[in-house]
Structure 1
């Protein structure tokens, strides 16, 4: 009986050792979960905005920010400190659901959560250089 008990204990230790090798520390798992969630949010945002004609700016986007621009709003802007096309920017520093909008010919930063942005996107897309500053309903 002792040999059977020892064999049983050995099998159990082997199973536990194998399980521990596959175990992912909580901090690592949380970071992976957060990154996966962020990637899913960005993918869904990209899908929604690009189907409306916005273009992801691969040249200016990086690990810290993702940019989309609205080609119909493009205009020649005399001041290089002002944007030449209406742009939506998501930054790593912000919460995952904050979008910055900068209108063509301005440097003003309008901030929206994603729901607000998509509710106001018609106004954002309609803005052209020289138009009065857009107004948005209280959301």
Structure 2
């Protein structure tokens, strides 16, 4: 066999191996589609619940990491915006599957974590917090 034929065969085998590594049975693919639809619907509902209260979705955030909403009334000038947040924010991190709402209050670097539904039980004190206020206490136990 010539070198050219060997190279062609090696490329074909490599393509087949890659295809086989990512192939899923139709049943599994249908299940994934349904799960994806559920996740998207859940995120759309979460976004709607936040934005109807006045939270702003941050379109400039790196969506490979996750998604962020911020609370405009909390915005303040902070000494070091690289160290602390300039507005209260809620983040969902892709690596966690978007299952945990991370809340960082303006002027802090403290990461409060809530379940997605649980977050809405605590939004009043989160939204009421302003730079310099005592940190709210969350009874999550």
The answer to whether TM tops 0.5 is: yes
Shift of 1:44: 0.1
Which consecutive residues of structure 2, in runs of 5 or more, have no partner in the other structure? 1-24
Q: Distance in 1 between matches of 2:90 and 2:39?
A: 17
* Structure 1 portions without partners, runs of 5+: 1-23
Name the SS of the counterpart of 1:128 in structure 2.
Answer: coil
TM-score normalised by structure 1 residue count: 0.77
Q: Report what 2:43 is aligned to.
A: 42
Relative to structure 1, the CA distance from residue 62 to residue 95 in structure 2 (aligned partners, 3 Å threshold; closer, same or farther) is: closer
Please list every run of at least 4 consecutive aligned residues from structure 1 whose deviation after the TM superposition is greater than 3 angstroms: none
Q: CA deviation at 1:115?
A: 2.2
With the length of structure 2 as denominator, give the TM-score of the two structures.
Answer: 0.76
Separation in 2, partners of 1:97, 1:118: 14
- 2:78/2:84 contact within 8 Å kept: yes
CA distance in 2, matches of 1:61, 1:47: 20
Aligned partner of residue 72 in structure 1, secondary structure = helix
Aligned residues: 116
Larger radius of gyration: 1
- String of CA shifts for 1:4-29, please: whole Å, max 9, x gaps: xxxxxxxxxxxxxxxxxxxx712222
Q: Hey, what does 2:92 align to over in structure 1?
A: 90
- Counterparts of 1:66 and 1:118, CA distance in 2: 17
SS of structure 2 residue aligned to 1:116: helix
What is the alpha-carbon root mean square deviation over aligned residues?
1.5
